[in-house]
Amino acid sequence: MSEINVIPLVDIMLVLLIIFLITVPVVLETVNLKLPDVAFEPTTTKPENVLLSVRSPDTDGDGQPNPESTACEVYWGQTPVDSRQLLERGQAKLEKLLKDIGGPQNITEDNFPEVHIRGDINTPYQCIGGVIYTMQYAGFQKIGFISEPAPGSATLGRL
């Protein structure tokens, strides 16, 4: 017999075509979003994580930051730091970690510290963005934000 039976091939191709026609519109529909609802994923605070707080100084005395002020206050734990000290402390922490675990080949996701940033609601983005950039430049891979969810809100898991 010199002819090839193409009917099973055509059947399979038609089934695949129907599957793609059904699934592609579902995958491409990503425009209608409502962001953000206060949802959070509980974080596991490890002792090696870096806890940073960022805020704008209140120079008016009314609880709102002064719009003319571009200074930001950054705290490593409870200690105020400037951007140079922040970079130096971040690099020193990672160098100590590398020395303690025996080199970069021993780094895992579990033993690598994360940066957790608590930003005041009135802090301009340029302040928080500068802290993010500095910590990434220091070598940190994971940077997260700590928020306070509304009372009674449920944990929605990873978004």
- pLDDT tens digits, 99-121: 888 887 877 777 788 898 888 77
Tell me what pLDDT residue 84 has.
92
Residue 103 falls inside a structural domain? yes
Number of domains forming the structure of the chain: 1
Residue 27 falls inside a structural domain? no
| pLDDT average, residue stretch 137-156 | 72
Residue 9 falls inside a structural domain? no
Residue 69 falls inside a structural domain? yes
Residue 106 falls inside a structural domain? yes
Tell me what pLDDT residue 16 has.
92
Tell me what pLDDT residue 12 has.
94
Residue 59 falls inside a structural domain? yes
Residue 81 falls inside a structural domain? yes
pLDDT of 97 > 70? The answer is yes
Residue 86 falls inside a structural domain? yes
User: Whole-angstrom Cα distance, residue 144 to residue 159?
Assistant: 13
What percentage of the chain reaches a pLDDT higher than 70?
A: 69
Is this model's pTM higher than 0.75 or not? no
**Domain housing 116:** 50-145
Per the model's pLDDT, the better-predicted residue between 39 and 36 turns out to be 39
- If you average pLDDT over every residue of the chain, what do you get? 76
Per the model's pLDDT, the better-predicted residue between 13 and 37 turns out to be 13
pLDDT of 33 > 50? The answer is no
| pLDDT average, residue stretch 118-141 | 86
The CATH number linked to 81 is: 3.30.420.270
pLDDT of 23 > 50? The answer is yes
Tell me what pLDDT residue 158 has.
42
